[in-house]
């Protein structure tokens, strides 16, 4: 096979993987939305979507709800049992580079002071095939956080849409090569399709503002309209907070790990009744601080891939971009008045 595959050939490959009992996920049309979902049939996959799926691929590694062990109450004894891990191979295909780029970012978090076995096992048994991005919308800003439409970070192989239902396949890692065999080229590809979103803010300048402005009237001014749902965090490829709760009845149950969001008031509510983040602008500030100052200081990367899902999914059109543009502008004005010492 040549390193160019038609939609029919791709579809055949996917059908083969599904037939072998592998878990395959891809963008799927759900009503008027495009969402990453597990495929029941190869025909459901949208290989060259015109827009970004409204969720992210993180849930194939870090599910929204996951039992970590089970318990049974037997008289006065409590019997614990492990959750038997799934071992099936996973393939995510036609993912956006801004989704895949979140994986190396998440790897740091789930392997930093403690190795999260559930996450790392899924990472190990998953191959991620991205589709180089050929379009962007107003909410996209990957180029402002150091990523790009052909960013290979987190991808095992990348598809390039050649038009006319043809895709060039390029293997990036050993896993990607193994998945496509001879059908993938390993030659570097001339980059720069010229379709990248323009740079909308300077992440370093934003970090400088954050460092000096934990208290600022701007937070309230820019984010008071936030209604405090978790649509941004839950569709974000990089947001990774979770809560651990016990769920069950008098006989037993499971200890489960569930997605959580710093935008919920209960995220920080103390047992005493005190809430250190009492109002929504403080919670919005936290989200931005974590993404653009705290995580970068710890892991030397921004906790954001510029996918724009936070804005597209926000019921009040907020997202991080509008706030970042505003604080970037504010810091630029300050720098002009008082130039930074080189």
Contact 217/273 with Cβ under 8 angstroms? no
- Residue 153 or 309 having the CB closest to other proteins: 309
- Residue 175 or 290 having the CB closest to other proteins: 290
Is there binding between residue 264 and other proteins (CB under 8 A)? yes
Give the number of other Cβ atoms within 10 Å of residue 173's Cβ: 15
Give the number of other Cβ atoms within 10 Å of residue 45's Cβ: 22
d(CA 30, CA 131): 20
d(CA 180, CA 274): 55
Rounded to the nearest whole angstrom, what is the least distance from the CB of residue 264 to other proteins in the complex? 7
Rounded to the nearest whole angstrom, what is the least distance from the CB of residue 15 to other proteins in the complex? 22
Q: Which of 78, 135, 195, 224 binds other proteins (CB under 8 A)?
A: 224
d(CA 85, CA 66): 11
- Residue 4 or 73 having the CB closest to other proteins: 73
Give the number of other Cβ atoms within 10 Å of residue 136's Cβ: 20
Q: Which of 6, 111, 191, 258 binds other proteins (CB under 8 A)?
A: 258
Is there binding between residue 153 and other proteins (CB under 8 A)? no
- Residue 31 or 190 having the CB closest to other proteins: 31
> Cα dihedral sign for 106, 107, 109, 110?
positive
Q: Which of 7, 229, 301, 326 binds other proteins (CB under 8 A)?
A: 229
Rounded to the nearest whole angstrom, what is the least distance from the CB of residue 337 to other proteins in the complex? 23
Is there binding between residue 326 and other proteins (CB under 8 A)? no
Report phi then psi at 241, rounded to 5: -70, 145
Angle 135-139-143 from CA coordinates, rounded to 5°: 65
- Residue 238 or 313 having the CB closest to other proteins: 313
Q: Give the E-state strand segments of 31-105 in sequence order.
A: 33-38, 65-74, 77-82, 90-95
Rounded to the nearest whole angstrom, what is the least distance from the CB of residue 30 to other proteins in the complex? 6
Is there binding between residue 106 and other proteins (CB under 8 A)? no
Is there binding between residue 318 and other proteins (CB under 8 A)? yes
Is there binding between residue 266 and other proteins (CB under 8 A)? yes
Among 186, 175, 211, 210, CA closest to 103:
175
Q: Which residues bind other proteins (CB under 8 A)?
A: 30-33, 35, 54-55, 64-65, 224-225, 227-231, 233-235, 243, 245, 247, 256, 258-259, 261, 264, 266, 279-281, 313, 315-318
């Amino acid at each position: 096979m040549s390193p160019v595959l038609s939609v029919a050939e791709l579809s055949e490959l996917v059908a083969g993987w599904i037939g072998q009992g592998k878990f395959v996920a891809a963008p799927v049309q759900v009503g008027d939305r495009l969402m990453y979902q597990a495929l029941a049939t190869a025909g459901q996959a949208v290989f060259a979507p015109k827009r970004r799926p409204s969720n992210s691929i993180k849930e194939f590694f870090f599910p929204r709800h996951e039992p970590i062990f089970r318990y049974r109450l037997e008289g006065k004894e409590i019997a614990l049992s492990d959750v038997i891990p799934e071992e099936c191979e996973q393939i995510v295909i036609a993912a956006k580079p801004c989704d895949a780029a979140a994986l190396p970012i998440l790897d740091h978090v789930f392997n930093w002071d403690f190795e999260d076995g559930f996450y790392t096992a899924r990472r190990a048994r998953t191959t991620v095939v991205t589709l180089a991005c050929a379009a962007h919308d107003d909410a996209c800003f990957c180029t402002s956080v150091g990523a790009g439409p052909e960013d290979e970070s987190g991808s095992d192989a990348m598809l390039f849409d050649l038009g006319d239902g043809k895709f060039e396949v390029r293997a990036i890692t050993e896993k990607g090569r193994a998945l496509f065999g001879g059908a993938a080229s390993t030659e570097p590809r001339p980059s720069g399709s010229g379709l990248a979103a323009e740079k909308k803010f300077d992440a370093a300048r934003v970090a400088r503002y954050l460092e000096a402005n934990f208290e600022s009237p701007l937070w309230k001014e820019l984010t008071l309209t936030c209604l405090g749902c978790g649509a941004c965090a839950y569709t974000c490829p990089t947001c990774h907070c979770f809560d651990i709760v016990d769920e069950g009845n008098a006989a037993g149950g499971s200890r489960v790990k569930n997605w959580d969001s710093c935008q919920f008031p209960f995220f920080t509510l103390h047992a005493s009744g005190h809430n250190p983040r009492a109002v929504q602008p403080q919670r919005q500030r936290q989200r931005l601080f974590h993404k653009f100052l705290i995580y970068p200081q710890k892991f030397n990367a921004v906790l954001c891939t510029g996918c724009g899902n936070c804005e597209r999914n926000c019921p009040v059109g907020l997202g991080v971009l509008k706030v970042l543009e505003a604080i970037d502008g504010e810091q630029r004005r300050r720098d002009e008045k008082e130039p930074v010492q080189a």
